[in-house]
Amino acid sequence: MTTITAEIEEPPSERPPASTFRERIWEVLKPTQEQWDDWKWHFRNRFNTVDKLARVMPLTEMQRKQLQLVSGKYPFSITPYYLSLVRKDDPTDPILAQSLPSFDELLHAEITQEDPLHEKDDSPVVGLVHRYPDRALFVITDICPLLCRHCTRKREWDGGWWIRQKPQLEAGIAYLRRTPAIRDVIISGGDPLTVDNDGLEWILQQLRSIPHLEMIRFGTRFPVVLPQRIDEGFTRICDKYGPIWLNTHFNHPNEVTPEAGRAVRELLRAGVPVNNQTVLLRGINDTVETQLKLSHELLKNRVRPYYLFHADEVRGTEHLRTPVETGIKIIEGMRGHTSGLGVPTFVVDVPGGGGKIPLQPNYVLSWTEDEMMLRNYAGRIFHYRNPRPAKAKQLPVVVAA
């Protein structure tokens, strides 16, 4: 008699390849498991100097010099967890490309945009960006555990690291309170989850006391770069002051690890829907294949791909930007070819405070009052009748009884 169990194969490991930096980091930093599971330990031990990095990563003299030079202008910070995902001996590793300074950051001096998204102009009070009619961005800190090389707010990296103090937070909250048009507030940064749970609870409590605020969202990359942060205290306050939404920022399938999966599971358990905002990055995730894989990994974890952003025009990031067409081609390669739930909206956030503008592949070949000629995902052409409302009928006269 055959048993069924013999036929069940082990599912393929979800872990990044075994040849990662993980063992090396453990050898050097010697954390206990308890420390490794503690986000504050990672924060304290983040790699932010060339000397610290050289302890776990072989660097040539030339690389050291370049790192010193670039980080003099654009500093770096990489959590032990995130660095542990880097594959050994792969100079094109997508984790490294997002976190390790590159000499290219000093090129392209022609890009002079200081505040390409005009966030300062759209701020009625310090720290609050009110650009769209019914929603606002609340910037509560400029600290991040990991400094993404493609950061939109790279210009602010030399501003000294701060967490907004109560008087300024109160001014933002007062603005939200007296502006009933705002029904959706996004708590952002920096990374807002660098603020501890007590601080976040105070903010959530204040925001929840504003009756017209229907939605509160967090914009945070912690589930990706330091998933240990999603602890019991955090999910408890999300549950208590919910409904809360959370948007995170996975850029590559190698980031979707068991640890990140656990963080997402805990959030979902606390009733927090998790959506993903990816930035399209040259050499990192600029192919249909990588984006499909990322979407599938996210969907397996019940994370919904929300936006695919064209990388903003920011000084020090030009080498990571692709032509706009790359994004449109990626969407074209996804739509219809995979679950619709896995297809993000591709958007360009235009300089000058215009906000996010969605860009789509063109499926409309011609369009008249009577008919549209449409193309489907596979290139087949269809005629679709365009209904016109019939002429208004004479209403029957109702005679009162």
Ligand X SMILES: *Cc1c(COP(=O)(O)O)cnc(C)c1O
Active site residues: 131-132, 135, 144, 148, 151, 153, 312, 349, 356
Residues 6+ apart with CB under 8 A from 326: 280, 286
Nearer to ligand X, 123 or 194 (CB): 123
Closest C-alpha to 249, from 283, 227, 287, 278: 278
Q: What is the largest CA-CA distance in the chain?
A: 98
| Dihedral angle computed from the Cα positions of residues 274, 279, 285 and 291, in that order, rounded to the nearest 10 degrees | 40
Cα-based distances in Å from 383 to 150, 336, 389: 43, 18, 19
Nearer to ligand X, 125 or 365 (CB): 125
CA within 13 Å, CB half, 325: 1
Closest C-alpha to 258, from 85, 89, 97, 32: 85
95 contributes a contact to ligand X by CB under 6 A: no
Question: Using CB under 6 A, which of 25, 78, 129, 185 touches ligand X?
Answer: 129
Query: Are the CB atoms for 305 and 298 separated by under 8 Å?
Result: yes
Question: Using CB under 6 A, which of 25, 57, 97, 186 touches ligand X?
Answer: 186
Query: Are the CB atoms for 66 and 226 separated by under 8 Å?
Result: no
Cα-based distances in Å from 333 to 80, 311, 324: 35, 19, 15
**Which H or E run includes 225?**
helix 222-225
Which segment (131-139, 262-270, 291-299, 316-324) binds ligand X by CB under 6 A? 131-139
131 contributes a contact to ligand X by CB under 6 A: yes
Which segment (51-59, 128-136, 318-326, 370-378) binds ligand X by CB under 6 A? 128-136
**Site map (CB under 6 A) of ligand X, residues 18-37, x = contact:** --------------------
304 contributes a contact to ligand X by CB under 6 A: no
Which segment (4-12, 127-135, 326-334, 388-396) binds ligand X by CB under 6 A? 127-135
CB of 11 to ligand X, least distance (A): 34
Nearer to ligand X, 96 or 129 (CB): 129
Number of other CB atoms surrounding residue 95 within 10 Å: 24
52 contributes a contact to ligand X by CB under 6 A: no
| Residue in the structure block whose two tokens are 């304290």 | 44
282 contributes a contact to ligand X by CB under 6 A: no
Number of other CB atoms surrounding residue 51 within 10 Å: 9
Query: Are the CB atoms for 128 and 172 separated by under 8 Å?
Result: yes
CB of 234 to ligand X, least distance (A): 22
Question: Using CB under 6 A, which of 24, 73, 88, 135 touches ligand X?
Answer: 135
**Site map (CB under 6 A) of ligand X, residues 341-380, x = contact:** ---------------x------------------------
203 contributes a contact to ligand X by CB under 6 A: no
137 contributes a contact to ligand X by CB under 6 A: yes
Which segment (130-138, 147-155, 291-299, 362-370) binds ligand X by CB under 6 A? 130-138
Closest C-alpha to 216, from 188, 197, 195, 191: 188
Chain-centroid distance, C-alpha 90: 24
Q: Tell me the site size for ligand X, rule CB under 6 A.
A: 7
Which segment (12-20, 40-48, 125-133, 196-204) binds ligand X by CB under 6 A? 125-133
Nearer to ligand X, 123 or 228 (CB): 123
Sheet holding 128-132, edge to edge: 128-132, 135-139, 184-188, 215-219, 244-248, 274-280, 304-310, 345-350, 355-358
Residue ranges that bind ligand X, judged by CB under 6 A: 129, 131-132, 135, 137, 186, 356
